[in-house]
Every structure is written in structure tokens, then in C-alpha cells.
Amino acid sequence: MTEKSWPWSTVAGLGDGAAELNEALSREFLALYFGVQDPTVEGVCKGLSIGELAVSGITSPLSVAKGAGICYGLYINDAIKMLAVSTPAVGTTGGRVVLQTNWAGTGGAGLEARTRLAVKMSADGNPAIPALTHTFGTTWEISLAIFTISPGGDIILTDDRTFRRSTAMVDTTELIDLAVETAKINNLAVTTSKIDNLAVTSGKLGADAVIAGKIQDGAVNTPAKLANDIVDDIKVGNRVPQFYRRQGGSATAWNAAGANNYIPTAVRMQGGSITVTITAGQMNGHVAVTFPVAFSYAPLVIVSLYFNLGFTTLWILPMAKNVTASGFDAYAYIPTSGPLDLQPEIHWLASGPE
């Protein structure tokens, strides 16, 4: 096994500097320390300087801002760089501004390989953007911008930089606040198994976010999952009667007489059966009824008679009086008094606002 460490002084005996300080070792250490996830497209270093190798311009020469990048070597540009673009004669031509590493050198025999800015052009009159070259040991390129140039010298430029993504592992503590914003989350990235129980509260849902197509069959299966009064007469299906409209003289008290039409909101219906005693020698009797649950205003109360004493031939008239939000008085009337107590049953139904 060979162990190496770098950089150290080239003085013999200090680390591996004197024996190993060469291009291959330098690139190996740079690749490990400054490595990128995809060297075919990545390389521009984010945030190291104003500009970040951004390319601009509408005519030749194009301007490249200062910045840094990785292209099988660390490239640093500490000043604005101007790049000439040749004007085509035949027709609009495609081009690309690249960061290029050339192992063969560009200045003559004996020169070391180097990474520099360069312009690549398609053949005169070919508007296609030239491809990148990715041949390790010969030429390697990453794209900074693509463009077309007309015979008149007009350039249409598009940013084509891809910023370096570190190969290092990043844990939760290394993420700054608000670092993961909505645009940074890929579609389908947040699956059901990644959402904690009770994590998605109503406050985290946008208006109209949960449409019918987003609700799984059987998902809403208990009353506790429905807000109060959420299902109205518009949403109920066949065989469910609607309390569609009512008429009366008050928008609140349902028992007020009148001819106005009202659209009910939250409707409550209650019913019951009670016994009224008409004492011998009397022509009426009554009993106070308290609703199981009070209404917010006086409801409509409908009463009917159920009399199970078949021997009587008396007419008995049921009636509701003194209706309030909390109850009413149930009366039973007969046309003439008799010698015996009578106990007819009165069935009642009340409908009104919650």
C-alpha cells in the first residue's frame, strides 16, 4: 500500500513534496478535495466572487466576469476577461463559451497543460450549438454560455453555467435556515413515507390545494374528520332531503309569520312524543316541552295527535304555543268536558337554526 500526503515543502524528507509534487498527484488531491458530482457539466464555484464566471454581451467581444471553477484543475479568474467572437459571413452561427482544460498545452512545445476560457464555434452558417469535448488526458470542457451570432454581429446569449456540487456528505446541521425552498424540492421528492404523522396541518395547505382528485377513497371516513356544517344540502346526494328554502317574517326567528323567502344556513331538526293530561271536567291540558338541544332562535314546531283510547268519540285538537329557542308548550283541546281524565299523546317536530 502506498501512502501519500500533499501539499508539503519540496525539501527532501518533508512529507511527499519532493518525490510526488507533480501534475498527476496534484490533480488527484484536487479531485478529492474539490471534487464535483458530474464533471461533464459542473464546475463553476458558487459565491467565491462577484460574477461567478457569468458571460454577458450582445456583440463581440463577450465579457466573462471574475470567478473560479473546477475543470480537472482549479481555475481562478480575478479580473473581467474579454473574449473575441468571429463574425460569420454565410449565416447565423452557433457558439459556446467554455472553461477548457487542454493537456497538450496551447502555446507551443514544452508548455504545461492548463485550464483557460475559450470560445467554440460551429461551421459558418450552422446555427447549432457545438458539442462539449470530454476526453480525459486530451481536452475537457464545461459550458459557461451558449449563443448565436448573425452576419451583422448581433449575439443572442444564454447562460449555461452549472455550479459545482460537492461530493461531501451534508447533514441537517449544515443546512442554513430557509436553504431548502420550494423550488429546490423535486417533483415526487416528498413521498408519503417521508411525511410525519400530523405534519401537514391545515395552516400548511394553500387555498384550494386539496381538490377532489387528491382525496383517496375511504380517507374521510369518520365524523371527526369533517368540520362542523361542512356538508350542506348542495353536497348531499340522492335520497337525502334538502331543507331548501323557508318562508316567514324574520331572518332569525323561524316561527314569525310572513311571506319573505329565506335560504337556511345551519339547520337543526328535533322531534319527540309527549303525553298531555286533560283532567276530568276540563276542556284542555298542556305540558311544557324543553328541546333536547336549544336552537339559536325560535324554530318552527309542528304537532300531531296520537290518541290510543279507541272508545272516545271526542275531537281533540293539538297545538304548540309560546315557542322559544329552548322549548314550547304543547296543548290538547276538546270541545266539551267529560267525566274522565284523558291522556292523548302529542308528537312534535321542530326545525330551526342551530
Q: Which residue has the higher pLDDT, 275 or 235?
A: 275
pLDDT at position 65, please? Answer: 94
Min mean pLDDT across 137-141, 149-153, 235-239 is at 235-239
By CB atoms closer than 10 A (0-12, 13-18, 19+), residue 103 is: middle
Average confidence (pLDDT) over 53-71:
93
Where, residue-wise, is CATH 2.60.40.2080 in the chain?
Answer: 267-353
Rounded to an integer, what distance in angstroms lies between the CA atom of residue 251 and that of residue 321? Answer: 20
* Adjacent-strand bridge partners of 69: 44, 75
- Kindly state the cell numbers that stand for 119: 470560445
State the Cα torsion 4-10-12-13 to the nearest 10°.
-40
Query: Do the beta carbons of residue 53 and residue 67 sit within 8 Å?
Result: yes
Rounded to an integer, what distance in angstroms lies between the CA atom of residue 274 and that of residue 304? Answer: 11
CATH number for the region 267-353 comes to: 2.60.40.2080
pLDDT at position 329, please? Answer: 97
pLDDT at position 109, please? Answer: 46
Task: Tell me the per-residue pLDDT of 153-200, one tens digit each, with 9 for 90 and over.
Answer: 999 999 999 988 776 667 777 677 877 888 888 888 888 788 888 788
Q: Does 243 score more than 50 pLDDT?
A: yes
By CB atoms closer than 10 A (0-12, 13-18, 19+), residue 69 is: buried
pLDDT at position 259, please? Answer: 95
Average pLDDT value for the chain: 84
Distances in whole angstroms, Cα of residue 47 to Cα of each of 51, 68, 88, 353 = 8, 9, 36, 64
pTM of the shown model: 0.48
pLDDT at position 18, please? Answer: 53
Task: Tell me the per-residue pLDDT of 293-322, one tens digit each, with 9 for 90 and over.
Answer: 999 999 999 999 876 555 555 688 899 999
Question: Could you tell me the pLDDT band of residue 249, with boundaries at 50, 70 and 90?
Answer: very high
pLDDT at position 172, please? Answer: 76
* Adjacent-strand bridge partners of 117: 99
Q: What is the per-residue burial (b if ≥16 Cβ within 10 Å, else e) of 338-347?
A: eeeebebebe
Q: What is the per-residue burial (b if ≥16 Cβ within 10 Å, else e) of 192-213?
A: eeeeeeeeeeeeeeeeeeeeee
Most confident of 45-54, 226-235, 250-259, 333-342: 250-259
Task: Tell me the per-residue pLDDT of 100-114, one tens digit each, with 9 for 90 and over.
Answer: 988 776 544 444 557
pLDDT at position 97, please? Answer: 97
Most confident of 23-37, 96-110, 122-136: 122-136
Nearest C-alpha neighbor of 55 from the set 189, 179, 146: 146
pLDDT at position 1, please? Answer: 42
